[in-house]
Structure 1
Amino acid sequence: MTRRRWVPEGTDQDVPNVARVYDCYLGGSHNFAADRELAREAVEMWPDLPLIMRANRAFLRRAVQFLAGEGITRFLDIGSGLPTFGPVHEVARVVQPEARVVYVDIDPVAVQHSRLLVADDPLCAVVEADMRDPAGLLARPAVAELLRPREPVAALLLAVLHFVTDEEDPARIVRELSAALPAGSALALSHGSREGRPDVVEKHEDLYARASAPLTMRTREEIVALFEGFRLLEPGVVYLPEWRPQDPAAVGPHPELFSGLAGVGLKP
């Protein structure tokens, strides 16, 4: 069978990849049997996972549209995964038709598929880089070009820092990225929380131990601390559906069941 165009040569299809597992939760088709098996086990353990992932994508849409409405036209989507469900450039251009977006991911499948998606878009670029090496990421030509005019940039770190271990220090990553962002830039961040469903957190972390990156859920205090150097916007760091919902009545009585925490901050 001919290898599909979005599968780079040498891709390991036997180890579950966190980007492709996420694609499974969203009902996507850019995944392999190992990814689908881990997703199946995870959902069996935590049936609300697909809803949580959709809530995360909904937060992305609201945050991007809000920041575009504040005049930001440049977006750096780090850990972008497979941007097939409302990609950032489409969301931002509802408000800013000339919005520029650089997608960054470490997974070759995500990078290859993203490049196919934006191949004819001169305002988008896709970079293969490891966020655990911020200096290397920032040195990539497409990223350097995005930052060069010293205009405000929205850095998006959605559902990715929980794949950074404590030893790799997620706060260090945010600090180094922040240092490169011009004044007036923004950070939109979501992160898996140990709160909301503490009964399944450790089991979920154990399950992801066999994936391409381990999972480290963190406390609210640890997630809030990632915004050091940014001014948190209202309503602060909250459960995913609570961040500026379009319909407050749709949040429901138990937003903690969505587990993930999210927030947006501005760099003075």
Structure 2
Amino acid sequence: MTDSTRGGTPAPREIDITTPHSARIWNYWLGGKDNYQADREAGDEFLAIYPGQRDKARACRHFLSRAIRYLANEAGVRQFLDIGTGLPTANNTHEVAQQEAPESRIVYVDNDPLVLAHARALLTSSPEGVTTYIDADLHDPERILDEATKTLDFDQPIALILLGVLGHVQDYDEARSIVKRLLARLPAGSYLVQCDGDDTSEAYIAALERYRDRSEVPYNVRSQDELAAFYEGLEVVEPGLVPIQLWRPEPNIFGEPPAVAEFGGVGLKR
């Protein structure tokens, strides 16, 4: 086996495996196999500056699982629109939602050719539910919503999931506009689940700056107040907008979760 496939997945055609790719690096941090040598090297360089990034990646995944279980079990949501899906790993949105409510309908959205190459892994579903995929750009929320109407019932509550993706929108006003435009067409009773990197860790910011020149889509941290503004007009679910390891933490054998520079929560549209 050559080194380019040592991560576990042959390189899809027309995908550059010599340049680090954010989705593959994230997959590496989560312990996945859909990554290549360039991604592992870039991931290790990032960890050398900000060792907490692996904890952050896992914290995001655990936050997603807890939020989906809350929505399915306590809020009764059965429809999920997950934008910026990334590469499939463990406990994807459809897996968690359909484990709790098999009839759940999930729409994934991404426009990354690498993710498209792995779409088949996402397009699995319980017999009672639906899982589908839209090739669309976060910067075009109207197209996303138009395509989502083919699968989701916009007369019933929908959970909008934006995990770690708004930081890729460089202009803050544009990021807020995207969230507002997406929420505007969702019915009352819908939810926003969102988190992004905040500016509380100097090491995290330094690692992002080091990586910025190597990334086609740089990531931008924001203050916690700026991130909280994405929830304007929504009723924030307890315990509020917090560092994500503190959002409804669950008992585990490892003790208290490590602190990470990631901030978010869940908000209800009335």
Q: Which residue of 2 aligns with 1:57?
A: 61
Q: Which residue of 2 aligns with 1:68?
A: 72
- List per-residue Cα deviations over 1:181-240 (Å, max 9, x = no partner): 111000000100001x12441442341331131110000000000111211111111011
Q: Which residue of 2 aligns with 1:245?
A: 249
- List per-residue Cα deviations over 1:10-51 (Å, max 9, x = no partner): 223233221111101101111222222211110111111111
Q: Which residue of 1 aligns with 2:163?
A: 158
* Structure 1 counterpart SS, 2:151: helix
> How far off its partner does 1:139 sit?
2.4
> How far off its partner does 1:9 sit?
3.1
* Comparing 68-77 and 8-17, the one that deviates more: 8-17
- d(CA) in 2 for partners of 1:188, 1:167: 18
Any conservation in 1 of the 2:9–2:35 contact (CA below 8 Å)?
Answer: no
Q: 2:267 is aligned with what amino acid? A: G
Q: Which residue of 2 aligns with 1:17?
A: 21
> How far off its partner does 1:8 sit?
4.5
Where do 5+ consecutive residues of structure 1 fail to align?
A: none
Q: Which residue of 1 aligns with 2:142?
A: 135
* Structure 1 counterpart SS, 2:47: helix
- List per-residue Cα deviations over 1:237-262 (Å, max 9, x = no partner): 1011100112399773x85x311012
> How far off its partner does 1:159 sit?
1.1
* Comparing 199-208 and 176-185, the one that deviates more: 199-208
Q: 1:115 is aligned with what amino acid? A: R
Any conservation in 2 of the 1:8–1:108 contact (CA below 8 Å)?
Answer: no
Whether 1:46 aligns to 2:53 is no
Any conservation in 1 of the 2:154–2:186 contact (CA below 8 Å)?
Answer: no
TM-score (norm 1): 0.89
Any conservation in 1 of the 2:204–2:261 contact (CA below 8 Å)?
Answer: no
Any conservation in 1 of the 2:105–2:152 contact (CA below 8 Å)?
Answer: no
* Structure 1 counterpart SS, 2:100: coil
Aligned residues: 262
TM-score (norm 2): 0.88
* Structure 1 counterpart SS, 2:20: coil
Which structure 2 residues correspond to residues 20-31 of structure 1 after superposition, within 5 A? Answer: 20-31=24-35
* Comparing 181-190 and 166-175, the one that deviates more: 166-175
Q: Which residue of 2 aligns with 1:99?
A: 104
- List per-residue Cα deviations over 1:61-110 (Å, max 9, x = no partner): 00000001111000011111112211111101222111111111121221
* Structure 2 counterpart SS, 1:246: coil
Where do 5+ consecutive residues of structure 2 fail to align?
A: none
Q: Which residue of 1 aligns with 2:123?
A: 118
- d(CA) in 1 for partners of 2:97, 2:178: 25
* Structure 1 counterpart SS, 2:150: helix
Using a 3 Å threshold, how does the CA distance of structure 1 residues 220 and 129 change in structure 2: closer, same or farther? same
Q: Which residue of 1 aligns with 2:186?
A: 181
Any conservation in 2 of the 1:89–1:124 contact (CA below 8 Å)?
Answer: yes
Any conservation in 2 of the 1:186–1:267 contact (CA below 8 Å)?
Answer: yes
User: Superposition RMSD on alpha carbons, in Å?
Assistant: 2.4
* Comparing 10-19 and 97-106, the one that deviates more: 10-19
Percent identity at matched positions?
37
Whether 1:83 aligns to 2:88 is yes
- d(CA) in 1 for partners of 2:71, 2:11: 33
Q: Which residue of 1 aligns with 2:264?
A: 262
Using a 3 Å threshold, how does the CA distance of structure 1 residues 250 and 237 change in structure 2: closer, same or farther? farther
